[in-house]
């Protein structure tokens, strides 16, 4: 039996977020066909964004409309998602692993008596169930788990899955009957959103991809090469101690023994020689890439892949290539 | 304020990870377990709120096997928690986070709880499911990734911030609520020796645990893998920077599968 999958979409500027598109892509492979996938959107912009699902072949969209969902905590959306999944006959719910998605799945799994897994990097349907792989212990190990029971809810790790191919179809929108929520759920109130997170967000230590720059950049102005590459990859920016000691960037970005320990899926070290003090902070990353002009730099001993060359030529080319393949 | 703080024992961060002999899960043999890092912050935050709101009590609750679960509860008492409840769970296979959340919710039902604090996730399985699941099971609101949690006595509500993809959100929420904490106001305190000694004799309420029926979903471990030791970088051969970039991106997508 192939799973029937409900994908919870999250909108950013009226479009499905990258994390939602990745969830949609893996829902399509899990269900084997677009007919086995149902979309879900909540909020006042839901209906207007219905074509977003149609673009990737999903014709069945459930919408929970209303401004109540717009700024709400994930807790407020959960009853509508479970209602939609039950209405649609789904046995699996997929969400992108954003702050919202990760807050949501615990509620969904509890409400739906489902199995749950967060931070999933691989998944496949097997014998009516689903098997997942996910990094654990800060990326120092990987576990495989079998989700048992008739229902399951999964949050996918951002950037771990490909985007779905376009296959436009007409979308049929069905409204989701809104269930009454308790007073405590209604009275929680978001009072403000500041554009820039002051360090409390999914930062360096939580990032899936980290791009770090070192002394090889030669000047603070050149550090923008690192920031541009990081932006193209959706990565957090890190720095070696040489960079933060020189004041090119704040010490909060320092990766290493006296800075932060990171273990992302991908760590890109640019112009970093690989002093032991830096290595201890990043060696447990799953995949390490080093770009350095000195072939004898110790960073190449811990890296999986290396480019020996001039970072001022290689990094811009890499940024352009990443943008090209990601359609940015 | 009746504050509940949920705590979990996890392997010490310097632990050398090893798979059990069947290869299915982490091998806890000989490993030292400690209070999970974010849970340590949750305990600290609970104690800070207790100090700020007269008449408050902090009740530590944990689900897990002996002896490590009892040990982290004693550590929580030594830090200043007033009461402790232990839901004794099985050691093997280690229950998944949803099972833990369901077991904790069942134990919390009869326990007064205005505020339930959890670490936003534990350093071993890193699921971050428990706070949200507790919110649903206790039918109260929950928030994860919370910093700067405060009690506004004049308006009788919690205020806090949380970082999201869109930026930093500022919130107000009345009690009761579940909070998955990212960071306390200050670094977690350390217990003093007399308090540690006293905590050894402190009473801990024990609640038995019975497994949930099979139609309640759960996950079971099948494989625990460690990365292969590093043998040095595979250097990419190229003639132009463009060729280097193309080759690297192809490898990262198709072989390493680190981004789509």
Q: What residues does A143 pair with on adjacent strands?
A: A134, B224
pLDDT reported for residue A184: 61
pLDDT reported for residue A87: 96
Interchain contact, A266 vs B259, CB within 8 Å = yes
CATH number for the domain formed by residue range(s) A204-325: 3.40.50.1220
* Residue B214 placed within a domain: no
Same domain, residue pair B83 and B115: yes
* Residue B217 placed within a domain: no
Q: What is the pLDDT of residues A226-251, one digit of tens each?
A: 999 999 998 999 999 999 989 999 88
pLDDT reported for residue A198: 40
Q: What is the pLDDT of residues A265-275, one digit of tens each?
A: 899 999 999 99
**What is the pLDDT confidence band of residue A135, given thresholds at 50, 70 and 90?**
confident
Interchain contact, A137 vs B98, CB within 8 Å = no
| Cβ–Cβ under 8 Å, residues A98 and A19 | yes
**What is the pLDDT confidence band of residue A202, given thresholds at 50, 70 and 90?**
very low
Q: Which residues of A touch B242 (CB under 8 A)?
A: 317, 321
Q: What is the pLDDT of residues A17-47, one digit of tens each?
A: 888 999 999 999 999 999 999 999 999 889 9
- For residue B255 the two structure tokens come to 């072989």
3-state secondary structure chain A: CCCCEEEECCEECCEECHHHHHHHHHHHHHHCCHHHEEEEEECCCCHHHCHHHHCCCCCEEEEECCHHHCCCCHHHHHHHHHHHHHHCCCCEEEEECCHHHHHHHHHHHHHHCCEEEEEECEEEEECCEEEEEEEEHHHCEEEEEEEECCCEEEEECCCCCCCCCCCCCCCEEEECCCCCCCHHHHHCEEEEEECCCCCCCCCHHHCCEEEEECHHHCCHHHHHHHHHHHHHHCCEEEECHHHHHCCCCCHHHEECCCCECCCCCEEEEECCCCCHHHHCCCCCCCEEEEEECCCCCCHHHHCCEEEECCHHHHHHHHHHHHHHHCCC
Strands B33-35 and B9-11: antiparallel
**Mutation choice for A interface testing from B215, B218, B231, B246 by most A CBs within 10 A:** B218
In the predicted structure, residue B172 carries a pLDDT above the cut 90: yes
Determine the Cα–Cα distance for residues B135 and B131; give it in Å rounded to an integer.
6
Determine the Cα–Cα distance for residues B62 and B48; give it in Å rounded to an integer.
20
pLDDT reported for residue A311: 97
- For residue B108 the two structure tokens come to 């919390």
- For residue A202 the two structure tokens come to 């999914």
Determine the Cα–Cα distance for residues A27 and A94; give it in Å rounded to an integer.
7
Say if A124 is an interface residue toward chain B (CB within 8 Å). no
* Residue B239 placed within a domain: yes
Interchain contact, A188 vs B171, CB within 8 Å = yes
In the predicted structure, residue A200 carries a pLDDT above the cut 50: no
Say which range, B1-10, B147-156, B178-187, has the weakest mean pLDDT: B178-187
Residue B247, H or E segment: helix B241-250
Say which range, A47-51, A158-162, B237-241, has the weakest mean pLDDT: A158-162
Mean of the pLDDT values across residues A109-135? 93
Q: What residues does B171 pair with on adjacent strands?
A: A190, B160
* CATH code of B181's domain: 3.40.50.620
**What is the pLDDT confidence band of residue A197, given thresholds at 50, 70 and 90?**
very low
| Cβ–Cβ under 8 Å, residues A24 and A37 | yes
Q: Which of residues 154-183 of B touch A (CB under 8 A)?
A: 161-177, 180, 182-183
* Residue B222 placed within a domain: no
* Cβ burial A269-297 (10 Å sphere, 16+ → b, else e): bbbbbbbeebbebbbbbbbbbbbbeeeeb
- For chain B, strand residue ranges (E) read 2-6, 9-11, 33-35, 57-64, 83-88, 115-119, 141-152, 157-164, 167-173, 177-181, 205-207, 218-225, 234-235
Question: Which comes out higher in pLDDT, residue A257 or A225?
Answer: A225
Interchain contact, B248 vs A307, CB within 8 Å = yes
**What is the pLDDT confidence band of residue A155, given thresholds at 50, 70 and 90?**
very high
Q: What residues does B220 pair with on adjacent strands?
A: A146
Determine the Cα–Cα distance for residues A76 and B141; give it in Å rounded to an integer.
8
Q: Which residues of B touch A193 (CB under 8 A)?
A: 166-170
Same domain, residue pair B42 and B119: yes
Q: Which residues of A touch B240 (CB under 8 A)?
A: 317
**What one-character DSSP code corresponds to residue B28?**
-
Determine the Cα–Cα distance for residues A51 and A169; give it in Å rounded to an integer.
8
- Bond before B93 cis per omega within 30 degrees: yes
Q: Which of residues 282-311 of A touch B (CB under 8 A)?
A: 283, 286-290, 295, 300-310
Mean of the pLDDT values across residues B98-126? 94
| Cβ–Cβ under 8 Å, residues A148 and A12 | no
pLDDT reported for residue A327: 85
Same domain, residue pair B202 and B112: yes
In the predicted structure, residue A138 carries a pLDDT above the cut 80: no
Q: What is the pLDDT of residues B43-69, one digit of tens each?
A: 999 999 999 999 999 999 999 999 999
How many helices (H) and strands (E) are present in chain B, helices listed first?
A: 6, 13
Say which range, A182-191, B12-21, B172-181, B204-213, has the weakest mean pLDDT: A182-191
Gap from A203 CA to chain B (nearest CA, Å): 9
Gap from A197 CA to chain B (nearest CA, Å): 5
Q: What is the pLDDT of residues A86-119, one digit of tens each?
A: 999 999 999 998 889 999 999 999 999 999 999 9
Q: Which of residues 157-196 of A touch B (CB under 8 A)?
A: 159-163, 182, 184-185, 187-196
Question: B55: left (phi > 0), else alpha (psi -120 to 50), else beta?
Answer: left
Say if B23 is an interface residue toward chain A (CB within 8 Å). no
Same domain, residue pair B243 and B142: no
Inter-chain contacts counted by CB atoms under 8 A, chains A and B? 320
Q: Where in chain A is the domain with CATH 3.40.50.620?
A: 5-187
- For residue B219 the two structure tokens come to 């996950």
Determine the Cα–Cα distance for residues B78 and B80; give it in Å rounded to an integer.
5
Say if A203 is an interface residue toward chain B (CB within 8 Å). yes
pLDDT reported for residue A182: 66
pTM over 0.80: yes
Q: Which of B101, B148, B183 sits opposite A106 (nearest CB)?
A: B101
Determine the Cα–Cα distance for residues A21 and A36; give it in Å rounded to an integer.
16
List all residues 6 or more positions away from A288 whose beta carbon is below 8 Å from its beta carbon: A266, A267, A268, A269, A282, A302, A303, A304, A305, B230, B233
Same domain, residue pair B165 and B256: no
Q: Which of A74, A161, A198 sits opposite B168 (nearest CB)?
A: A198
CA distances (Å), B117 to each of A142, A289, B68, in order? 28, 39, 20
Q: Which residues of B touch A313 (CB under 8 A)?
A: 241
In the predicted structure, residue A128 carries a pLDDT above the cut 70: yes
Residue whose C-alpha is closest to residue B198's, from B110, B35, B75, B86: B75
Domain containing B57 equals 2-207
- For residue B58 the two structure tokens come to 């902090």
**What is the pLDDT confidence band of residue A183, given thresholds at 50, 70 and 90?**
low
pLDDT reported for residue A300: 96
Question: Which comes out higher in pLDDT, residue B112 or B230?
Answer: B112
Q: What is the pLDDT of residues B183-227, one digit of tens each?
A: 888 888 999 999 999 999 999 999 999 889 989 999 999 999 987
Same domain, residue pair B117 and B28: yes
- For residue B175 the two structure tokens come to 């009690």
Determine the Cα–Cα distance for residues A63 and A84; give it in Å rounded to an integer.
8
Say which range, A193-197, B18-22, B103-107, has the weakest mean pLDDT: A193-197
pLDDT reported for residue A159: 75
Mean of the pLDDT values across residues A195-214? 69
- Bond before B189 cis per omega within 30 degrees: no
Gap from B230 CA to chain A (nearest CA, Å): 6
* Residue B218 placed within a domain: no
pLDDT reported for residue A196: 53
The number of distinct structural domains making up chain B is 2
**What is the pLDDT confidence band of residue A180, given thresholds at 50, 70 and 90?**
low
Q: Where in chain A is the domain with CATH 3.40.50.1220?
A: 204-325
**Mutation choice for A interface testing from B248, B251, B255 by most A CBs within 10 A:** B248
Other beta carbons within 10 angstroms of residue B65's beta carbon come to 17
Interchain contact, A105 vs B132, CB within 8 Å = yes
CATH number for the domain formed by residue range(s) A5-187: 3.40.50.620
**What is the pLDDT confidence band of residue A129, given thresholds at 50, 70 and 90?**
confident
Q: Which of B142, B163, B221 sits opposite A200 (nearest CB)?
A: B163
List all residues 6 or more positions away from A163 whose beta carbon is below 8 Å from its beta carbon: A18, A21, A22, A25, A327, B260
**Mutation choice for B interface testing from A184, A266, A312 by most B CBs within 10 A:** A184
């Amino acid at each position: 039996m192939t799973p029937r999958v409900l994908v919870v979409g999250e909108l950013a500027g009226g479009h499905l977020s990258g994390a939602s598109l990745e969830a949609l892509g893996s829902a399509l492979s899990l269900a084997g066909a677009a007919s086995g996938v149902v979309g879900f959107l909540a909020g006042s912009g839901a209906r207007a964004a219905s074509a977003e699902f149609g673009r990737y072949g999903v014709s069945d969209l459930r919408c929970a409309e209303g401004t109540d969902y717009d700024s709400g905590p994930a807790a407020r959306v959960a009853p509508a998602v479970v209602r939609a999944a039950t209405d649609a006959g789904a046995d699996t719910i997929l969400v992108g692993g954003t702050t919202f998605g990760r807050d949501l799945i615990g509620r969904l799994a509890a409400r739906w008596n489902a199995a749950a897994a967060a931070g999933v990097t691989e998944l496949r349907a097997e014998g009516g169930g689903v098997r997942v792989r996910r990094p654990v212990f800060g990326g120092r190990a990987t576990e495989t788990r079998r989700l048992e029971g008739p229902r399951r809810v999964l949050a996918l790790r951002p950037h771990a899955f490909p985007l779905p191919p376009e296959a436009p179809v007409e979308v049929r929108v069905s409204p989701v009957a809104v269930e009454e929520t308790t007073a405590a759920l209604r009275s929680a109130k978001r009072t403000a959103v500041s554009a820039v997170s002051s360090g409390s967000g999914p930062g360096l230590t939580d990032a899936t991809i980290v791009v770090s720059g070192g002394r090889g950049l030669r000047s603070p102005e050149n550090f923008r090469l690192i920031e541009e590459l990081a932006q193209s990859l959706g990565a957090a920016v890190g720095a070696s101690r040489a960079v933060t000691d020189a004041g090119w960037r704040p010490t909060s970005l320092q990766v290493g023994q006296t800075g932060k320990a990171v273990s992302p899926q991908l760590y890109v070290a640019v112009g970093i020689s690989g002093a032991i003090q830096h290595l201890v902070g990043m060696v447990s990353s799953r995949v390490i890439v080093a770009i350095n002009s000195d072939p004898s730099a110790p960073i190449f001993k811990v890296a999986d892949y290396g480019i020996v060359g001039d970072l001022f030529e290689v990094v811009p080319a890499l940024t352009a290539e990443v943008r090209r393949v990601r359609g940015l | 304020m009746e504050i509940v703080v949920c705590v979990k024992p996890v392997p010490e961060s310097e632990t050398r990870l090893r798979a059990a002999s069947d290869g299915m899960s982490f091998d806890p043999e000989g490993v030292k377990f400690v209070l999970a890092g974010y849970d340590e912050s949750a305990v600290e935050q609970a104690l800070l709120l207790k100090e700020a709101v007269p008449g408050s009590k902090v009740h530590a609750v944990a689900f897990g096997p002996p002896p490590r679960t009892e040990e982290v509860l004693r550590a929580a008492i030594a830090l200043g928690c007033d009461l402790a409840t232990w839901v004794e769970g099985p050691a093997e296979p280690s229950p998944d986070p949803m099972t833990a959340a369901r077991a904790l919710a069942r134990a919390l039902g009869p326990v007064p709880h205005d505020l339930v604090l959890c670490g936003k996730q534990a350093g071993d399985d890193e699921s971050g499911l428990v706070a949200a699941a507790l919110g649903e099971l206790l039918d109260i609101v929950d928030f994860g990734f919370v910093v700067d949690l405060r009690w506004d006595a004049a308006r009788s509500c919690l205020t806090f911030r949380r970082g999201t993809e869109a930026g930093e959100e500022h919130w107000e929420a009345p009690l009761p609520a579940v909070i998955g904490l990212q960071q306390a106001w200050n670094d977690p305190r350390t217990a003093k020796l007399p308090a540690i000694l006293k905590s050894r004799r402190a009473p801990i309420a024990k609640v038995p645990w019975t497994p949930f029926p099979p139609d309640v979903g759960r996950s079971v471990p099948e494989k625990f893998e460690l990365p292969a030791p590093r043998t040095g970088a595979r250097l990419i051969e190229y003639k132009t920077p463009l060729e280097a970039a193309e080759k690297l991106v192809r490898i990262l997508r198709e072989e390493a599968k680190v981004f789509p």
